[in-house]
Amino acid sequence: MSAINRNAQQIAAAVVSNKRVGQYHQLIVNIGDAANHCKPGNFVAINVGGDTSRMVLRRAFAISRVSANSISGGTMELIVAPYGQGSSWLCSQNEGAMLDVVVPLGTAFGIPTEPVQVLLVGGGYGSAPLFGLAEVLNARGCRVDMLLGASTASKIYAPMEGKRSVNSLRIYTEDGSMGQAGRVTDPIKALIDDMNIAVIYSCGPMAMLSAIDSLTRGTDVIHQCAVEESMACGIGICMTCVLPTMGSDGVISMLRSCIDGPVMDGETVLWDKVGKAL
């Protein structure tokens, strides 16, 4: 029995709602029973552009949250930034539109078996999967603190209901238009030193993940990060999405971030080798 993407299915999924939230779109998509298999950290791959599209590749999106008990069947929530042609197309799909979705894909955040203290760090739409994760951690009895950052206020995604599962939430914007002015990574060092943080969960731009790694490397803090590399297939067959990593055995390999990720142990990633020849 193959262990890779064991629960992945390709399904025709209806858009339940599409709402603008700041610079993002919050999409609720009906994925039926597949919702039961989605774990925080998993992502979906969606066809974009319709039947006569010139875009031949799927786009990957982190699953923000799933809700299995909705009337119409299980739903998932995506937070999409209308960036290029594929994401813009997705953001233009209204209620009732049918999407071709492969779900769930990739690794999930590891959940501690003990009720430890954890820190969640999100950059831009990277906060999306953290709220679903916070719920799970909260249910495990963990203390959950969250830091969110972005260049400007409209790029902060922090829904009201999401805040219920976190013990504290601090927001940083580079232009100071919301929360504190500065970077989301600025306070981490002090937090590690002052508090008894066991795990940092992070999701956001690669530069942010790498910066967090440089703070946790060599410490006892585990860094679980959700990486984002260009992906052609999302299911492990194209080898475009690789990241240089070193296993605990010292062996260096180019791991596929779609099946050995997106959630990876930050310490295994050779951050300074990303985009360089090995």
Residue 38 sits in the site that holds other proteins (CB under 8 A): no
**Out of 51, 161, 220, 249, which residue is the one contacting a second copy (CB under 8 A)?**
51
Residue 198 CA, chain-centre distance (Å), reads 20
Cβ count within 10 A of residue 69: 8
Which option in a second copy, ligand FES, other proteins, none does residue 19 bind, with CB closer than 5 to 8 A by kind? none
Q: What is the three-class DSSP state of 138? A: helix
Residue 229 sits in the site that holds other proteins (CB under 8 A): yes
Question: Which CB, 144 or 241, lies closer to ligand FES?
Answer: 241
Give the integer Cα–Cα distance in Å for 147 and 188.
9
Which option in ligand FES, a second copy, ligand FAD, none does residue 52 bind, with CB closer than 5 to 8 A by kind? a second copy
Size of the site for ligand FES (CB under 6 A): 12
Question: Which CB, 58 or 183, lies closer to ligand FES?
Answer: 58
| CA atoms in the 13 A half-sphere facing the CB of 130 | 31
Which own/partner pairs from 181-186 qualify as long-range (CB within 8 Å, at least 24 positions apart)? 183/149, 184/121, 184/122, 184/123, 184/147, 184/148, 184/149, 184/208, 185/121, 185/149, 185/211, 185/212, 185/215
Cβ count within 10 A of residue 172: 21
Q: Shortest approach of ligand FES to residue 240 CB, angstroms?
A: 5
**Out of 109, 125, 201, 271, which residue is the one contacting ligand FAD (CB under 6 A)?**
125
Give the integer Cα–Cα distance in Å for 49 and 161.
32
Residue 85 sits in the site that holds a second copy (CB under 8 A): yes
| CA atoms in the 13 A half-sphere facing the CB of 194 | 6
Residue 227 sits in the site that holds ligand FES (CB under 6 A): no
Residue 34 sits in the site that holds ligand FAD (CB under 6 A): no
| CA atoms in the 13 A half-sphere facing the CB of 169 | 21
Q: Which stretch binds ligand FES (CB under 6 A): 15-23, 77-85, 128-136, 235-243?
A: 235-243
Amino acid found at 250? G
**Where do we find the tokens 């099946």?**
259
**Out of 10, 36, 53, 72, which residue is the one contacting a second copy (CB under 8 A)?**
53
> Contacts with other proteins in 149-188 (CB under 8 A)?
none
The alpha helices in 115-165, defined as continuous H runs, are: 128-139
Q: Which stretch binds other proteins (CB under 8 A): 3-11, 89-97, 168-176, 187-195?
A: 3-11
Determine how β-strand 197-203 pairs with β-strand 117-123: parallel
Size of the site for other proteins (CB under 8 A): 38
> Contacts with ligand FES in 118-157 (CB under 6 A)?
none
Residues that bind ligand FES (CB under 6 A): 231-234, 236-241, 256, 258
Residues that bind other proteins (CB under 8 A): 2, 4-6, 8, 10, 47, 54-58, 100, 102, 229-230, 232-244, 252-254, 259, 274-278
Residues that bind a second copy (CB under 8 A): 48-55, 85-86, 89
